[in-house]
Amino acid sequence: RRGRGWGHVVAVQMRGEATRQLIMDAAAEAFAEIGYGSVTLSDIIARAQVTKGACYHHFPTKESLAAALISYTDAETLATARHATSESASALENLIRTTFALANVTQQDTKVRIGVLLSQALGQIGDVAQEGFQQRRQVFVAAVERAVAEGDLVEHVDADDLGHVLWCSFVGNYLLTAA
């Protein structure tokens, strides 16, 4: 008997990715409504309407699901920041555009919103979120460095410090708004 071919493999991979995203969406909604600590994988499975096997195939633990949401957030925020900038705009304008774009994606995308919260919370108790936090922070540091290089900001500004303050302000404003 002949194999099913590449088309079948691609279809299975696409179905698997769709299931993975469905589970992540359900988890983000549950974490937003109930809170990470109060949600179980069984709650997520019921909300996503998938089998236990499908969930455990993609996410063997709630922590692995949280890590996936944080990774998703990292990728989305970095892509949003890249998309918000323009070579023809000044560095300061790009910094402002990036801030508004990140605020928008955080407000509009539940997975990103929850990923930011998980990153913040889990970053305080372990290494799960540290890399992503540093990557998102670096977006602001790089923007400030470019603003200094272009003369939009005075040259004695410490780009690392100001980038850190801007990132923390963004996260802090988000947390206050969410409260």
8-22, 146-160, 165-179: which has the minimum mean pLDDT? 165-179
Contact indicator for 23, 59 with CB cutoff of 8 Å: yes
CA distances in angstroms from 105 to 13, 112, 116, listed in the order given: 27, 7, 11
Asked whether residue 133 carries a pLDDT value surpassing 60, the answer given is yes
Q: Return d(Cα 152, Cα 23) in angstroms, integer.
A: 44
Q: Return d(Cα 17, Cα 59) in angstroms, integer.
A: 12
Angle CA(137)–CA(140)–CA(146) in degrees, nearest 5? 140
Token pair of 157, please? 């500004």
Side chain identity at residue 46, one-letter code? A
CA distances in angstroms from 27 to 2, 24, 72, 116, 128, listed in the order given: 39, 5, 13, 14, 17
3-17, 52-66, 97-111, 158-172: which has the minimum mean pLDDT? 3-17
Global pTM value: 0.75
Average pLDDT over residues 150-156: 89
Token pair of 121, please? 């919370």
* Per-residue model confidence (pLDDT) at position 64: 92
Angle CA(149)–CA(168)–CA(154) in degrees, nearest 5? 25
* Per-residue model confidence (pLDDT) at position 6: 60
